[in-house]
Amino acid sequence: MTPASQSFREWLVGEIEAVLGRNTSSPPFVIWCDPDEEWLDLLHTVAESSGFEFWAPERREGAEHELIIQDRFHNSERVKRVVWLPVSRENITWFKVFELEAQHVWEKSLMQSLRDYGVRIPRDHEMDLNPLLPAHAKEWIDEPKSTWKELTPESAKGALVNGVRLK
């Protein structure tokens, strides 16, 4: 697969598997910090087709209290998993004890991750594009990187709202 043909899903799964595939004494896990809750739908989509366990509320449900997640994690068998938390790393509270054991704490925003994937997003488009990114990324998750050329607010809106979708 060439870099231009790699989809965002493939890139994201590769990033997760690079951490979860590490050889460690106990199964590795990732804490996914998402204070803006922009990753939840994307991670559900990716987890459905990947080989890792994903702990997060179902789409559009309220997040579990961190103390409940901590207790559940403490009492669960260790397996390769991603634990989603709707807070920034510095705001982790009850789950802090497990943060030290995590193989990785994901703190990147969706915008930064798309840039790391190779999408060119001009700085002057960030404010207008940011609220559209979660829906747009979910819509184009399986599109090759070449499709994402210079993402703009207008192209994102056009991809999400078109005549076919309005009918």
- At 94-145, the pLDDT tens digits run 999 999 999 999 999 999 999 999 998 888 888 988 998 999 899 999 999 9
Per-domain residue ranges of the chain: 3-117
Q: Using pLDDT thresholds of 50, 70 and 90, give the confidence band for residue 165.
A: very low
139 to 55, 129, 135: CA distances (angstroms): 22, 15, 6
The pTM (predicted TM-score) of the whole model is: 0.85
| pLDDT for position 75 | 87
Dig out the tokens for 162 from the structure. 């078109």
97 token code pair: 């004890």
% of the chain at pLDDT higher than 90: 55
Angle between helices 110-117 and 8-20 (to 10 degrees): 100
